[in-house]
Chain A
Amino acid sequence: NAGVMQNPRHLVRRRGQEARLRCSPMKGHSHVYWYRQLPEEGLKFMVYLQKENIIDESGMPKERFSAEFPKEGPSILRIQQVVRGDSAAYFCASSSGVAGNDYGYTFGSGTRLTVV
């Protein structure tokens, strides 16, 4: 079992470009969560998705950020027109059910986005 796979590990973008971050959940997991870690901060919840559905996006910035989890393929976190403040580590986690129950999360290694 390969675990939660995120790519790329490191991503450099110029201001105004688009960033696409990918997350393949663990085999058998249909719930995906995205978190952002800013320097010297803990992880902040962004969005929770199940296949083809956004369940909770209350942690997503209102503009420029979007997420999807299509029926086939990985979950994508998309950031349009990146700014320097978007520089952070973005972590994906997956679970087999609602994480508040006894399923827990498995985290990926993260994508470190640097905006120059």
Chain B
Amino acid sequence: AQSVSQHNHHVILSEAASLELGCNYSYGGTVNLFWYVQYPGQHLQLLLKYFSGDPLVKGIKGFEAEFIKSKFSFNLRKPSVQWSDTAEYFCAVNAQGNNRLAFGKGNQVVVIP
């Protein structure tokens, strides 16, 4: 079964700072990788996904993530955060052809104006 690790559950940073959230997964086969964001009181929204091809994936709102297969990692980055990026961020993985997503515990990010 797949498992996903996200560290630093609570992250507090100032506007314009850079953000990097780590995601490591354990699964030996081919995987699809996702980052979701949940703004306060809202549903999960897809930020970006990786299925194949270029391991550097560009998502919405200036986010990007890099798949490093040798490290089983899919870290999320944003060069300069805004107050509106305050949210919870979830990394998720599924084995290709599998119907279920395995989620990490999430990163609660607070951006101070």
Contact with A along B42-80 (1 / 0, CB 8 A): 111110010100000000000000000000000000000
On chain A, the number of residues with a Cβ less than 8 Å from chain B's Cβ atoms is 28
Please state if B32 and A100 are interface contacts (CB–CB under 8 Å): yes
B8 on the A face (CB < 8 A) = no
With A42-B90, A43-B90 known as contacts, the answer to whether A99 contacts B43 (CB < 8 A) is: no
**Contact-residue bracket for chain B:** 20 to 34
Q: Point out residues on B near A: beta carbons under 8 Å.
A: 4, 6, 9, 32, 34, 36, 42-46, 49, 51, 90, 92, 94-106
Interface residue from B51, B94, B95, B99 paired with A102 (Cβ < 8 Å)? B51
Chain A contacts with B in 68-109, Cβ cutoff 8 A: 91, 93, 98-102, 104-105, 107-109
Chain A's closest residue to B4 (CB) is A42
- Across the interface, which residues of A come within 8 angstroms of B100, CB to CB? 33, 45, 48, 56, 59, 99
